[in-house]
C-alpha cells in the first residue's frame, strides 16, 4: 500500500459529460502529480501541485483542470468528455520539492467514456 488513495476506482460515463477524480496523498506529502495512462502508452504527465499551488504543467487538455485543497487532497476535473479520454488516471505524491525523487502512486482511477 503506497498510502495514496484515489477514488473512484472505476467510472463509466458518456461523451460530453464531466467527472471529478479525487486523490488523497500520503500523510505529510505536499506535492501531488497527475498522470494519464492510455492503452499501450506510457504515463503522460498532466499537472503537478505543491502545497496548493500549481507547479508544473504537462500535456493537459484545456478541458481538464485540477486543484489542490488546503488539506492537500487534489481533484482532477475532466469535462466535455470524449471517447479518447478513456484511460487510467494516476495520482502520485511526494514529500516536497527536494530530496528523494520517489513518487508514490495510487492504484488509479479507470475512466471509460462510452
Partner 1 sequence: GENVEQHPSTLSVQEGDSAVIKCTYSDSASNYFPWYKQELGKGPQLIIDIRSNVGEKKDQRIAVTLNKTAKHFSLHITETQPEDSAVYFCAASLSRSNDYKLSFGAGTTVTVRA
CA distance 109 to 95: 22
**Binder to partner 1 among 27, 39, 40, 71 (CB under 8 A)?**
40
Q: How far apart are CA 12 and CA 33, in angstroms?
A: 23
By the rule CB under 8 A, 42 interacts with partner 1: yes
DSSP 30-48: -EEEEEEE-TT--EEEEEE
- Member of 43, 52, 61, 67 binding partner 1 (CB under 8 A): 43
- Cβ 11 to partner 1 shortest distance, Å: 16
Exposure letters 35-58 (e unless 16+ CB within 10 A, then b): bbeeeeeeeebbbbbbeeeeeeee
- Decide: is 74 part of the binding site for partner 1 (CB under 8 A): no
Residues 89 and 106: their CA atoms lie apart, in Å, by 9
| Stretch of 11-19, 62-70, 74-82, 106-114 lying at the interface with partner 1 (CB under 8 A) | 106-114
CA atoms within 13 A on the CB side of 93: 24
Q: Is 62 in the site for partner 1 (CB under 8 A)?
A: no
Nearer to partner 1, 30 or 86 (CB): 30
Contacting residues toward partner 1, per CB under 8 A: 2, 4, 31, 33, 35, 40-45, 48, 50, 55-56, 58, 90, 92, 94, 97-98, 101-103, 105-108
Amino acid at each position: 500500500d503506497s498510502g495514496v488513495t484515489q477514488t473512484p476506482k472505476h467510472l463509466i460515463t458518456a461523451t460530453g459529460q464531466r467527472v471529478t477524480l479525487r486523490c488523497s496523498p500520503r500523510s505529510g506529502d505536499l506535492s501531488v502529480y497527475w498522470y494519464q495512462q492510455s492503452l499501450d502508452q506510457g504515463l503522460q504527465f498532466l499537472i503537478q501541485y505543491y502545497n496548493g499551488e500549481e507547479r508544473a504543467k504537462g500535456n493537459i487538455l484545456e478541458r481538464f483542470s485540477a486543484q489542490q485543497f488546503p488539506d492537500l487532497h487534489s481533484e482532477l476535473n475532466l469535462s466535455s468528455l470524449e471517447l479518447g479520454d478513456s484511460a487510467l488516471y494516476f495520482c502520485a505524491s511526494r514529500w516536497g520539492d527536494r530530496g528523494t525523487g520517489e513518487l508514490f502512486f495510487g492504484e488509479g482511477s479507470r475512466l471509460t467514456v462510452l
